[in-house]
Homo-oligomer: A and B are copies of this chain.
């Protein structure tokens, strides 16, 4: 039998599961669905394909939807064997479903649901179907993700005056199973069992303020799936209950490893790896306890880590399709203007990492509509400004946001550059001289120079409208990151902004990602290594098993979990804190892709920082390089994956 997939209208799978993800946040018994436009899977689709049959063949269409199969001129119901004689036969499969996206699966030797089918939604012209290698069995239901599971026993059980505290070896995304031990007196209690979960011991013990407290389902003996390292079970004794955690995860294999003579760095890598794995499920999410949402800015950074850790293009695709939604675009991604722009930059990063032309062709029309949507918001100079209710975010920092904001224009310029590149990849450049996006890039950079560059301060200012000529690191970091400043200015920025103590420091790990990236690009590896060891090492000293949303060494341990005015508001497992993976692999192991997909790449390990090194770094989807040796002798070998295992 040929390979069959569950098929759907492309994007529907992602929009549906994205809603499940973005509506799954819970805070102390209350649902907290994401506050942006959420909708858009289709309810009525048709799948079409014409076969030229050499001989008679049979097939069965499976679907939970309402509908029928039209083979030639004859209609058939789902679930029954259909026989077709030889010759040309057009087949269309009509499917309607209200509560979820319509899907079909075809079992057959010749006629089967492979990627060659087209889908229509009675609105747009036919497009290639959507599918996923995770859904290739007839008995699956594409609206339900089949997580892999691993059972964890507590590593420590502590009886307190009021109950029992269970600690697991690390943080998990797990259902908690609580089973009454048969031999105790209260074994037949029908009273519902309530547990209190925590990312920290303190949170689990605080029944009032902990985020997740659940009643155990008496049928499955399990709680809902949530972020958890500690579980508190009040009122019971140790021997009365058996507690375990059923960790549920998407199995995306790790392709990288890092080991050097500095144990702290090895530990930082390991904890960053675990952090990132937890935040990489069906989609890249920000954190596993909170927000559990798919954010465009966070996802953009996750792309970089993914490239150097799992090199999995599928999660990129799912995340990018989920973020963008359908045309027409009427609101910014996550309501944030910069997050819309990161989406375009993400496509370019994705392409460079995996040479995924198919995906670029699929989403290029949405790139065009996104950039057009942004261009409806340009002022007389061509600068991007927010509309009412648009969020110009950039960072949690004291930026001067009066009028058009410099950092936003830097991103727009980078987008023009990305559009220019992707236009060719998508095969949409009409002629060699069609340089619309490049022309826009050149013009915008000229205007940025004219309005934002401050010769006296040797820096880009946030805003020219306010007259305050305020300088922050943000726009200046972007100026280097996206090559908007020339070499001379880049050096000036390093001296006058990045190493200038009067310019307020970056406080979020989110923007720290960009700052450290830029410092690496500017050759300041020693300083970056120092910062990495003190910042991420600082969290380790505080007992972190995953990296946090934010860390301030000056905050006391008593208040270290506090954020947004909430005692346990801080997420202790946050994707953007996994940047050491990217920094170590790219700049210290020195692995960099030169041609899309890694067709050409360079390996320049920075051995001045290591006595010994043994690491493996993916290059594109199919290759890995193994770098091992010491200051005396270094070996670099390329490992080729088996492409044929891929489905």
Contacts and interface: CB of A to CB of B under 8 A. Distances in A.
B37 A77 contact: no
A622 B248 CA distance: 61
Contacts of A94: 32-33, 35
A612 interface: no
B35 A122 contact: yes
Each complex incorporates copies of this chain amounting to 2
Interface stretch (A15-23, A133-141, A156-164, A310-318): A15-23
Given A39-B43, A39-B44, A99 B96 contact: no
Q: For the complex, would chain A's binding face be called helix, strand, loop or mixed by DSSP majority?
A: loop
A330 B123 contact: yes
Given A19-B96, A96-B31, A122 B44 contact: no
Nearest to A67: B31
A75 interface: yes
Interface string A33-59: 111111101111010000000000000
A458 interface: no
Contacts of A98: 16, 19-20, 23, 99-100
Interface in A555-580: none
Contact of A122 (B37, B75, B124): B37
Contacts of A31: 65-68, 96
Contacts of A39: 41-44, 121
A253 to B, nearest CB: 30
A14 to B, nearest CB: 13
Interface in A64-110: 65-68, 75-77, 94-96, 98-100
A645 interface: no
Nearest to A331: B123
A65 B30 CA distance: 11
Contacts of A20: 98
A233 B518 CA distance: 79
A467 interface: no
A347 B99 CA distance: 30
A29 interface: yes
A543 interface: no
B77 A33 contact: no
Contact of A38 (B19, B29, B37, B122): B122
Nearest to A33: B96
Contacts of A68: 30-32
Contact of A30 (B36, B75, B331): B75
Contact of A66 (B33, B41, B335): B33
A32 to B, nearest CB: 6
A76 B39 CA distance: 25
A37 B331 contact: no
Given A99-B98, A100-B98, A330-B123, A34 B23 contact: no
A117 to B, nearest CB: 18
A66 B21 CA distance: 12
A19 B95 CA distance: 12
A23 B65 CA distance: 10
A99 to B, nearest CB: 3
A331 B121 CA distance: 11
Given A96-B23, A98-B20, A99-B98, A37 B33 contact: no
B32 A43 contact: no
A407 to B, nearest CB: 25
Contact of A67 (B33, B37, B65): B33
Contacts of A124: 330
A37 B330 CA distance: 20
A436 to B, nearest CB: 25
A357 B451 CA distance: 51
Nearest to A95: B33
10 contacts: A19-B44, A19-B98, A23-B98, A30-B68, A30-B77, A31-B66, A31-B96, A35-B122, A98-B100, A123-B330
Given A31-B65, A31-B67, 4 more contacts: A33-B96, A34-B44, A39-B42, A328-B328
The 4 closest A-B pairs by CB, nearest first: A33-B96, A99-B99, A31-B66, A38-B44
